[in-house]
Amino acid sequence: MSTVKSPAVSPLKDYIKTNDKRFLDELLELLRIPSVSADSKYKPDVLKMAEALKSKLVAAGADKVELVPTAGYPVVYGEKIIDPKLPTVLVYGHYDVQPADPLNLWTSPAFEPVVKDGKIYARGSCDDKGQMYMHVKAFESMLKTNDLSCNVKFMIEGEEEVGSANLGQFLKENKERLKGDVILISDTSILANDVPSIDVGLRGLCYMEVEVTGPNRDLHSGVYGGAVANPINILCEMIASMKDKNNHITIPGFYDDVLQLSKEDRADLAKTPFNIENYKKDLDINDIHGEAGFSTIERTGTRPTLDVNGIWGGYTGEGAKTVLPSKASAKISMRLVPNQSSEKTAELFTNYFNSIAPNSVKIKVTTHHGGEPVLTPTDSVAFKAASKAMEETFGKKPIPTRGGGSIPIVALFEKILGLKSVLMGFGLDTDAIHSPNEHFGLFNYYKGIETIPLFYKYYTEMSKK
């Protein structure tokens, strides 16, 4: 695919090639462990996954490998300090995965990985076991071929998919152990296999749950219908009123802190290769939908959202039951952009939601986990090293892009450890993360393993200047 002539095979490249089958088999082994952090039924499996990863780090040659306990699942830690005078790269990733539901939509079982058409199908294949494990195998390869050019510390957590609630505390308690120069993360996407990119921003998250209560019990919808508030109807009206006809969010003050895009920002984003027809075709939609006045790239990367993630109440079983329900609920998430804050947004939401409720219902609003949005620098040594590494392996300079997803801990790395992150991801947006049939290309897995050592090399070289 690449037109760049590959340089003479190096011992490192040779090592990766010789061991590629084993590198894949080991990942498949990890993918068989259903480490779903959201569901306590999987607790033994999440712990088993932490143990398995610990063994893999030891086998790869890391020192001081241990499971560091937290109030939740342990952090898998390991390091290799070759020379304290050299820079230290902290690798972050997560070993937990999203629930696999809906199970019936998987073409092969979520935790029985298969390789089909050059892709690994399994929950966590891309997010984030596959991407995290590229780092372990790149590390092993560098170590075995005497190619490791700086110090490495691994910090792989097991609660990312449930909001990393205990990781901030872990950072505070382990500041000394986590001393380093930069955080390296592969948990994002590239634009396409022939269009490399590096995310330079992530959205934040504010996740709310609302409950609307009408009468004190479910009622006969004929006897009482039309005379008593139906909480599902009311909830739907309330949710609908939170956006206007331009899909602007109507919560007062919601946009106050939103960093406006400059003309240059918009011009840069407009250059992002993006094919709207392919996008619609992939999702099987007739048209896109979003905030007026912004492109799709701008909408996902630079604008906040308000989305219902789940809604329930009343009768949803077989047949028809005439009922005026007592309660209705919804889970509502807001993706945030710089410089919005999740705490302030939760307060604005709560106040507004209460204010628009009619007197005929009672309201309960609760806040779930959140996270702050981030922008990462493009003028840093680390970004330049990542860019140079990807340019070499893809044969094209990566384009800086903004990721629409969230990795809440990135803002805390900056706040607590004072460290900036580089988001050198290798997935694709079409890898179906969090969805049925999640997959990760073998191309992407091996591209990651090949690119990561170059990041270390250039980061060390460029840090010296």
SS3 letters across 137-165: HHHHHHHHCCCCCCEEEEEEECCHHHCCC
Considering the rule CB under 6 A, would residue 406 count as an interface residue with ligand BES?
A: yes
> Among residues 144 and 434, whose Cβ is nearest to ligand BES?
434
Q: Is 189 in the site for ligand BES (CB under 6 A)?
A: yes
> Does 298 contact Mn ion by CB under 5 A?
no
State the binding partner of 438 from Mn ion, ligand BES, none, CB within 5 to 8 A by kind.
none
- E strands, 69-150, are 75-80, 88-94, 114-116, 119-121
Residue 205 half-sphere exposure, CB side, CA atoms within 13 Å?
A: 26
d(CA 346, CA 344): 5
Binding mask 203-222 for ligand BES (x = CB under 6 A): --x-----------------
- Among positions 390-419, residues that touch Mn ion (CB under 5 A) are none
**Look-up of token digits 């909001």:** 163
Find the binder of ligand BES among 74, 87, 158, 163 (CB under 6 A): 163
Give the helix ranges, DSSP H, for 202-341.
231-240, 263-270, 276-283, 296-302
Which residues have C-beta within 8 Å of that of residue 6, sequence separation ≥ 6? none
* Entry field: residues in the chain: 465
Q: Element (H or E) spanning 48, and its range?
A: helix 43-60
Among 130, 408, 448, 453, binds ligand BES (CB under 6 A): 408
Cβ distance to Mn ion smaller for residue 232 or 410: 410
Q: Nearest approach, Cβ of 409 to ligand BES (angstroms)?
A: 9
Distances from the Cα of 297 to the Cα of 155, 189, 286, 304, 311, angstroms: 31, 14, 18, 12, 28
Q: Tell how strand 323-324 and strand 219-220 pair up.
A: antiparallel
d(CA 419, CA 180): 8
Q: Which stretch binds ligand BES (CB under 6 A): 117-125, 158-166, 276-284, 348-356?
A: 158-166
Q: Could you say whether residue 392 binds ligand BES (CB under 6 A)?
A: no
Here the tokens at position 48 are: 């088993």
Asked if 431 interacts with Mn ion (CB under 5 A), we say no
Name which position in 124, 158, 373, 403 contacts ligand BES (CB under 6 A).
Answer: 403
Among 187, 431, 438, 450, binds Mn ion (CB under 5 A): 187
- Shortest distance (Å) from residue 283 CB to Mn ion: 19
Tokens of 194: 């022939």
88/401 with CB nearer ligand BES: 401
Residue 161 found at the interface with ligand BES (CB under 6 A): yes
- CA 448 to chain centroid, in Å, comes to 17
- Is residue 72 involved in binding ligand BES (CB under 6 A)? no
Judged by beta carbon distances under 5 to 8 A according to partner kind, the member of ligand BES, Mn ion, none in contact with residue 406 is ligand BES
Q: How many angstroms separate the CA atoms of 95 and 133, rounded?
A: 9
Give the one residue of 91, 407, 410, 416 binding ligand BES; rule: CB under 6 A: 407
Q: Which of 128, 157, 159, 298 binds Mn ion (CB under 5 A)?
A: 128
Q: Is 441 near ligand BES (CB under 6 A)? A: no
Is 49 or 202 the residue whose CB approaches ligand BES more closely?
A: 202
* Binding stretches for ligand BES (CB under 6 A): 127-128, 160-161, 163, 187-189, 202, 205, 369, 371, 403, 405-408
* Binding stretches for Mn ion (CB under 5 A): 127-128, 187
